[in-house]
Every structure is written in C-alpha cells, then in structure tokens.
Structure 1
Amino acid sequence: MSRFEDLGVSKWLCEALGSMRIQTPTNIQTACIPKILKGHDCIGGAKTGSGKTIAFGAPMLTKWSEDPSGIFGVILTPTRELALQIAEQFAALGATVNLKVAVIVGGEDIVAQALKLQSRPHFIVATPGRLAHHILSSGEDTIGGLRRVKYLVLDEADRLLTETFSSDLQRCFSVLPSPAERQTLLFTATVTDAVRSLKDRTSSKGKPELFIAELDKVDEVAIPSTLAIWYIFIPSYVKEAYLHNVLTLEENKDSTAIVFVNRTHTAEVLRRTLRKLDIRVASLHSEMPQAERTNSLHRFRAGAARVLIATDVASRGLDIPTVELVINYDIPADADDYIHRVGRTARAGRKGESVSFVTEKDVHRILAIEERINKKMVEYEKVTDNQIIKDSLQKTSNAKREALLDMERENFGEHKEAQRKKKGLGKPKKDRKFKSKTELD
C-alpha cells in the first residue's frame, strides 16, 4: 500500500500519481490531505516546489470521484500561466476518469469560456478578474453551477488577498456557497497576516476547526540551502552589458535562466536586445497576447529558448524544473517577491544560483530582502569591468539602440496606453509592483 493510500487518497488516484512517478507524499501533502478529507478548511504554507497543488488536488479529486456531480471545485490563482499549469496537472491526474477541467482566464475568447461554464465542468481554474467578468456579464445559465461548489481554493493566497484582487474576489464570493457550506483551502509559500486573518472569518458553527499547516518559516528555509545568492553592484546605465556578460560566461552559456524585471517595457527591450545578440530568448509579460505568453512558456520549458525575460507573472508557482539561474535585473519592491522569484530555481533539492543587479537606488531594497530571508548575499566576482568593456559594452549598446528603434516603429505599448486613457488612468508609476491588473489576470 502506498503512503498516499495511507492518507486516504483513492486507489485510482494513487495509481495516477504512481504513473507520474509521484509515490511519496511531501510534508505539506502529509499534513493537509487527511485534514481536508475530514472536512477541515485549511491554510497550507510551505516553500515553493513542495507539492502544494497535489496537497489540495488529491483530496478534492478523491471526494469528487465519490460523488461526481456539477461543478465540484473552483481554484483561483493570480496569473494565467499558473492557472494553466494547475489545470494541466488536474487533467493529467484525471485522464483515466474523464475529468473535465475548464480554464477561465483573460486573453481567451469569452463566449467559448461561457459555453464551458454552461457545460458544468467538474473543476474550474480561473483568475479572479475573468471569473468576476463572467459573473457580472453572463446569465444564470452560465454561472448557476458556481452556486453549488463544494471546494474553493485560493492558490498563492497571499497575493490574491491584496487590494489588487479585492473587488474581483468579492464578486466571485458573491455567487459561491457561504463558508459554512463549502470547504475553503488557502495555499501559499508566504503565510502573511492577511492569510492568517481568515482564521476567524472561515470558522463556522458545526464545521471542523480550521487547520493551519505552516511548515516552513521564512527565516529558516524559504531560501533553499542549495541556492547560492549573489549580487553585483553596478551603474544602472550599463545593466544590459552586465546581463549579456553574465549569460555568456563559460559556466553559464548553456544554463537555463529566468531574468526578472519590474516593467513590461524593460522585458520587451531585453528580449529584442538579447535576440540581436544571438541568445535564444523568450519573454513573458502582460502586453503579450495570451497565445504568445503560452507559446513562450512552452518554448522555454522545451529548451527552444534558454533565457526567459519575465515580469512577476512568472514568479508565482510555475514549475520549470530545469531552471539553473535566476537573475534579478530589477530588484522587487517587496522582499516576498524576491523569495518567489528565486524560488524558480533550486527546487526539490536541486542546486541553483541567483544573481541580483544592485544599483545605487536599490541598496535599501537589498537590505530589506536580507533581513526578510535572514541571509546575506555574496558579491558575484565572475565578471569584471574590463570584461564588460571588452566583451559586452559596445555590442549591447548597439543592439539596444536597434531594439528601441524597432519598438518605436511598431508602436509598442500604444494599445495599453490607449486602454489606460480610456479608463481615465494616469501614467503608471515606475516602481509599482504590478503595472496593471491585466499583469495578473
């Protein structure tokens, strides 16, 4: 008997997990699965790569197989890419039992999505903005099935419970069963005060007590011991040259890398610049059509691109096992975002490296990050000023100039600016954590 069976997981699901070579439950799975099966609401906190999707997916699928009627569960996530990844995992686990999973995210045909909702899929994986749009605009035939769901999951709950998603979440909650009539499951790598505050709001008379599994304290293990964290102190005007040099070092030239930036414009400039420098690169940001976002992620996963330039849409939950290097081209304003970014490498016991580009304006952010993770970054000494001048400065300057001219000819960002003006919004602040809600939805 497998250990998953010991936890109460259905035999068919244990076999499906076994076929995917998942046989031994992780700590978060061992802690949460039995409690969820017994009817407890649950808050699960564990580091990235610890198997949180199966921690909520296995008990939900087990209960669904006992009574497969209507829309059984709704899973809300902050990003489209994470929604697609979760849906793929559910579909793979339920391949032998005709499980129907619908993905409801922005960037896709809204009429086709309404038809999916009307067909009463067993599970819905959605971003709050798009599901809220259906609730507001579609009829009862479309959203009626949501009124009887058994489970609500908030994945990356710390991000969902911020002001960015507040109104959309409230609209979603307005059609779902009350907390007393459903199970609510929250999972995150960083258990924030906002997440903990739900303890009183989710407790209901007659329901089992809320179960909290906060297995990994941030100051102890949020940064894996197998991850080396480096910094380079550089002038802001030569960051592209340093990026090219780091990516083309002998020890890095074949490594898969994610380069995180704070703005969509920066992501596009870097993608075009590196492509002109013959680096196999893809990008992931909110100004790309959904089909292109999906294609970029597939290309990176398949190795067709070895470098992914991304905003924080890629920092949450995405499982890309081969990532060896994470570069923080821009330093995030929130220390927790740093934790999520570097969590894309050194997963499941593998080794990984993170390099942060620190300019004169970033020192206070680095100090806040070091305090949050209780660890000091080490200076990255593999690149030198002489190397930059000799190997990268001139060629990256030329490539960037050509990239900017191309973007100007193609009016990059024009559509987004028009949308902002239409909504009466001013220009976005340079360092705002998310440039718009569409960055996540």
Structure 2
Amino acid sequence: MSTFASLGLPKWLVENLEAMRITTPTNIQAGCIPEILKGRDCIGGAKTGSGKTIAFGAPMLANWSKDPSGIYGVVLTPTRELAMQIADQFAALGATVNLKVRLVIGGQSMTDQVAVIKENPHFLIATPGRLAHIIMENPDETRGLKRVKYLVLDEADRLLTDSFTDHLQTCFEALPDSSKRQTLLFTATVTDSVRSLKDKPVAKGKQPVFLHELDQVDAVKIPSTLRLLYCLAPVVVKESMLHNILTSDEYKESTAIVFANRSETAEILRRTLRHLEVTTTSLHSEMPQSERTNSLHRFRAGAARVLIATDLASRGLDIPSVELVINFDIPRDPDDYVHRVGRTARAGRKGDAISMVTPNDLSRVLAIEERVGLKMEELAISDNKVISQSLKAVSKAKIEARMEMEKDGFGERKRRRKERDNARKRYKDI
C-alpha cells in the first residue's frame, strides 16, 4: 500500500496531511501525484469525495516549497463556493509554511482583488469570470500571471463548455503558453471534450499528458442504497406537490436538497416554503456572496432542513449527509442528474431521489434512465390529498413570495451585470 511519503511528497507536507487526519492516498492521489511531480500535464477523473483537491494541490505545494515564488499556481473553478472550499484546503495543506493563498471571485470588491493579485500571492483560486474581468480592466497589474507554473481547471467538464469559453480565453492569454506551464484538469465526469485533450500535440520537450481514470467515473454507478423515484406533477400544482412531499410522514424529518434549473424558481420556492413554516435556505447565483456563504453554513449546521439550489450545489461542495434529493425541475443534461442525486445515499447510507415530472419532461427522463441504466419507480401522490392539504395554502404563499421578490428588486443584480458585461464587450471591440 502506498503512502504519501512513497509518492514523493516532502516530510512537512506529509505531516500536515496527518494533522488533517489524511494518512492513506486514494486512487486518484496515488495515480496523479507522482506524475505531476515529474512535470507531466494531467487529466484526473474520479468521483466526488475521492480527494481530487489534494491530488493536484499536494504536488503543486511540494514543488513550490523548493522554489517559493508568486504567482506560482492558478486554480480555476466554476463556482464561488468551490473556490472558497479549495482555498480552505490549500490553506490547511500549507498551514506550517507561510503559504499565501488568495481568492478572486465575484461578490467581492474588484479593487481589493486587484490589490490581491498585485501582492503576488503564491496561489490564486479564482472563478473564470471575475479573473477575466480583472485581466481585461487591469492589464498592467496582472502581469505577474505570466510567471505562473501551474494552471488547474477544477470541474473541467463544466469549464470546457460554451458558458465559460470567452472568460477562459482571456485568462489563458494572460498566462504563460501551455509549453511553459503544467496544466492539470480534474473532474468527476471525464467527457469526450476533456478526454480529447490527451491526444493534442505535445510541445517539444514536454512529456505526454497523463490520464487517470482508474475510478471508472464514466461508468455511472447508482448505489444500491439510493431509490430513484418520480411523481407526475402538472405544472400548476408542482409547488403544492413539493410541499406535500416535504411535510409528509415519510419525509417531514429528512434533510433535503431541492434542485431547480433557474435562480428565480429557487428563490420563489424558498420564500414560498418559508411562509409555510418549512425551515429553508437557498443557494443560487442571484444571491449576494455573503448570503450564499451564510446559507451553506445554516444548512451544514442543521439550522435549515431544506436547501433550495440550482446546480451550484450539485458538485464538489462539502455538504453533510442528505437524506432526500428532489428534482423540482428535471436537468437538461443526464450527467447533471447523476451529480444531483449523488448528494444522497453516500458512504453506504440510504437515500431517496424524487423527480417531479411534467409532460414536457418525458424525453429528459428517458435520457436519464438510459444514462444510469435504471428505471425510476413511481411515487404515488393522491391528487385529492394535494388539493385538500396543500393547494390553497401554497397558492397564497406563492403570491406573497412573488410580491416580496418584486418589492426587493429580485433580478436587478443580474440585469446590471448583463449591462456591464455588454459594455465591456463593446469596449473590447473598439
């Protein structure tokens, strides 16, 4: 059995890992750490919770400690919450060696974050959008990025989609050429677009890209302890059916994550359920960063039984045991379904995943069932029970929720951000 010392990590880092109660490398750590230490670019694929952050963080810190300089490495990840979690882990790994780790994410002062980059911290953990905006508006202050030795794309399958293309391109242009840095891609889903990078031409003097898939992340495994359920939900009574499920005898004590496809839907559900005295918090992109952080703290601490979230919460985040996942909206991509339901029935525990299916969702459900190789079982809900117990109260609560959102100017931040982005694009094109 390998140890962190046998993988080539220095004594101080092994001791820090032991202080974190991490003593035995996981498969992805044992596979990737030695290759990264050799200087190879790496694509690492392993399921959530397998220790991917240490798989790329530990060898980066090991090499940094031989020649401490800033900015040594940049880690890009799709969400602020993941960035904060990675920064915390880096700080713990480097707790005894004066490591400087800084966050560059939305929801914070742009001026403060420009100052952070000018300090040349050892590692930057960033979301692509915020880093790209800083680079575009402050080219002189971000010249230090040209000395970066490592670039990490965490949740690479999400980053390598059209949503991030422009921002990533801006970031890449500010970094050294790929022949002069190590590039590390890590993901829970090794898609064709990620895997194809292995076969790209290798710069002169560089070793071939190392691909780790020992955990067979593409072979979707739904644990036997997870029940996949669905209920037929006409659009006009979806909120009532959700309330009925969450307050039923079977689930009224369960910790639950409810997934919605849009921020507006998530906010309506949070406010509606709050009026119905269900202890609820939320996580979506229209929330200020302080509220997003507080919401996660409340859910982790058990102060809220239900978390209403978009796919911000579907991957990577360290969220405690969840007994129930509800897809209020069916995700467009079957892989997103896999990540969502993977929030429950972890480490051998039991869990249920309920999908609320409208007539328009049938093709998505069929695609999901084909992807996971299983059929969902029907969760029968009596229409009469929904009408008698939930419909009237939920309808009133939903009206109150919408009135509150209008009063609070919900969506105004998104509109201002869109106007600002359009202005930047126009300026860039001049």
Fold shared by both chains (TM-score > 0.5) = yes
Partner residue, 2:145 = 146
Q: Could you say which residue in structure 1 is the equivalent of 2:159?
A: 160
Q: Distance in 2 between matches of 1:224 and 1:144?
A: 48
Aligned amino acid, residue 37 of structure 2: L
Q: Is the 8 A contact 1:257 1:325 kept in 2?
A: yes
Q: Which has the higher contact order (CA 8 A, sep 6+)?
A: 1
1:129 paired with 2:123, answer: no
Query: Structure 1 CA distance, aligned partners of 2:128 and 2:201?
Result: 19
Q: Deviations over 1:353-381 (max 9, x none)?
A: 21111111101001011111222222224
- Single out whichever of 347-356 and 113-122 deviates more from structure 2: 347-356
The letter of the residue matching 1:391 is Q
Residue 157 of structure 1: CA displacement? 0.5
> 1:399: which partner in 2?
397
State the Cα distance separating 1:349 from its structure 2 match. Answer: 4.1
Q: What runs of 5+ residues in structure 2 fail to find an aligned partner?
A: 424-430
Secondary structure of 1:55 counterpart: helix
8 Å Cα contact 2:43/2:185 also seen in 1:
yes
Q: Note the aligned Cα RMSD (angstroms).
A: 2.1
Moved more, 153-162 or 390-399: 390-399
Match of 1:371 in 2: 370
Cα pair distance change 1:79/1:202, threshold 3 Å: farther
Contact 1:283–1:308 under 8 Å retained in 2 = yes
Cα distance in 2 for residues equivalent to 1:349 and 1:5 = 30
State the SS of the aligned residue for 2:70.
Answer: coil
Per-residue CA distance 1:29-88 (angstroms, 9 max, x = gap): 121111111111111111222221111111112222222211111100011111111111
Does the alignment pair 1:40 with 2:22?
no
Deviations 1:268-295 (A, max 9, x none): 1101011111111111112111111111
Deviates more, 1:223-232 or 1:73-82: 223-232
Letter in 1 for 2:265: T
Please say if residues 321 and 346 of structure 2, whose CA atoms lie closer than 8 Å, have aligned partners that are also in contact: no
The answer to whether residue 213 in structure 2 is matched with residue 186 in structure 1 is no
3-state SS in 1 of match to 2:359: coil
**Aligned counterparts of 1:415 and 1:221: Cα–Cα separation in 2:** 38
Distance 1:235 1:79 in 2: 32
Alignment of 1:57-72 (within 5 A): 57-72=57-72
Deviation at 1:419, TM superposition (A): 5.0
Indicate if the aligned counterparts of 1:28 and 1:51 stay in contact, CA closer than 8 A.
yes
Identity of aligned residues (%): 65
State whether residues 219 and 373 of structure 1, in contact with CA within 8 Å, keep that contact through their aligned partners in structure 2.
no
Residue type at the aligned position of 1:137: E
> Are the equivalent residues in 1 in contact too, given 2:83–2:125 (CA < 8 A)?
yes
SS, match of residue 97 in structure 1: coil
The alignment status of 1:223 with 2:222, answered yes or no, reads: yes
Amino acid at match of 1:19: A
Distance in 2 between the 1:361 and 1:163 partners?
25
1: CA distance, partners of 2:147 / 2:18:
32
Q: Aligned to 1:6, what secondary structure does the other structure show?
A: coil
Give unpaired runs (5+ residues) of structure 1: 426-441
Quick check: 1:119 aligned with 2:119?
yes
Matches within 5 A, 1:256-335: 256-335=255-334
Residue by residue over 1:316-343, the C-alpha shift from the partner in whole angstroms, topping out at 9 and shown as x without a partner, is: 2112132222111000111111122222
Contact preservation (8 Å) 1:2, 1:23: no
* SS of equivalent residue, structure 1 residue 172: helix
Q: Secondary structure at the match of 2:23?
A: coil
Moved more, 361-370 or 311-320: 311-320
CA distance in 1, matches of 2:70, 2:413: 39
Post-superposition Cα deviations, 1:394-427, rounded to whole Å, max 9, x if no partner, equal 22122112212222333322443455467679xx
Letter in 2 for 1:4: F
Q: 1:31 to 1:262 in 2, by over 3 A?
A: same
Q: Which amino acid aligns with 2:88?
A: E
- Partner of residue 74, structure 2: 74
In structure 2, relative to structure 1, the CA distance for the partners of 1:218 and 1:54 (3 Å cut) is closer
Which moves more between the two structures, 329-338 or 395-404? 395-404
Query: Hey, what does 2:170 align to over in structure 1?
Result: 171
* Aligned with 1:387 (options 382, 385, 388): 385
Whether the 8 Å contact between 1:219 and 1:372 is mirrored in structure 2 is no
Specify whether residues 423 and 81 from structure 1 end up closer, same or farther in structure 2 by C-alpha distance, changes over 3 A only: closer
Q: Which residue of 2 aligns with 1:3?
A: 3
Assess, with a 3 A threshold, how the Cα gap between structure 1 residues 176 and 34 changes in structure 2: closer, same or farther: same
Read off the aligned partner of 1:260 and give its amino acid letter. Answer: F
Partner SS state of residue 308, structure 1: strand
Change (3 A) 1:16 1:228: farther
Cα distance, 1:118 vs structure 2: 0.9
| Residue 223 to residue 61, structure 1, CA distance change in 2 (3 Å) | farther
Write the distance in 1 (CA, Å) between the matches of 2:289 and 2:154. Answer: 21
Counterparts in 2 of 1:219 and 1:418: CA distance versus 1, 3 Å:
closer
CA deviation vs aligned residue, 1:127-185 (integer Å, no higher than 9, x gap): 11111111111142x31221111111000101111111111111111121111211111
Query: In structure 2, do the counterparts of structure 1 residues 343 and 376 end up closer, same or farther at CA, with 3 Å as the change threshold?
Result: same
1:393 counterpart letter in structure 2: L
User: Equivalents in 1 of 2:75, 2:374: separation in Å?
Assistant: 34
Residue in 2 that maps onto 1:411:
409
Bigger Cα displacement from structure 2, 189-198 vs 102-111: 189-198
Paired AA for residue 208 in structure 1: Q
Q: What letter is aligned with 2:195?
A: R
Matches within 5 A, 1:101-112: 101-112=101-112
Amino acid at match of 2:302: G
1:247 aligns with 2:243: no
